[in-house]
A and B are shown apart, each in its own frame.
Chain A
Amino acid sequence: MGKIEDVPVINGEGFQLSVLDKVIATARANSVWPLPFATSCCGIEYMATMGSNYDVARFGMERMSFSPRQADLLIVAGTISKKLAPILKQVYEQMAEPKWVLSVGACASSGGIFDTYSVLQGIDRVIPVDVYVPGCPPRPEQIIDGIMNIHKLVKTESLRRRYTDEYKHLMESYNIDSNE
Chain B
Amino acid sequence: MSRLTLTNEGVLETLKNQFGEAIISSETPYDLLTVEIDPAKNTEIIKFLKEEKSLDISFLTLLGGVHYPNDANREFCVVYHLHALVANFRIRLKAYLPASNPTIDSIVSIYDGANWQERETFDFFGIEFKNHPNLVRILNEDSMDYFPMRKEYHLEDATREDKDDRFFGR
A residues apposed to B, CB below 8 Å:
82-83, 110-111, 115-119, 121-122
Contact = CB atoms under 8 A, between A and B. Distances in A.
B168 interface: yes
Contacts, number: 36
A121 B141 contact: no
Residue among A83, A117, A119, A122 with max Cβ neighbours from chain B (10 Å): A117
A40 to B, nearest CB: 16
Given A82-B141, A83-B141, A117 B162 contact: no
Interface in B128-170: 139-141, 144, 148, 153, 155-160, 162-163, 168
A115 B157 contact: yes
Given A83-B140, A110-B163, A121-B162, A115 B156 contact: yes
15 contacts: A83-B139, A83-B141, A111-B157, A111-B160, A111-B163, A115-B163, A116-B156, A116-B157, A117-B144, A117-B157, A119-B157, A121-B157, A121-B159, A121-B162, A121-B163
Contacts of A110: 162-163
Nearest to B161: A121
A116 B124 CA distance: 14
B10 to A, nearest CB: 43
A122 B141 contact: no
Nearest to B149: A117
Contacts of B162: 110, 121-122
User: Which 8 A-B pairs have CB atoms at the shortest separation, nearest pair first?
Assistant: A83-B141, A117-B148, A115-B156, A121-B160, A82-B141, A121-B157, A116-B155, A115-B157
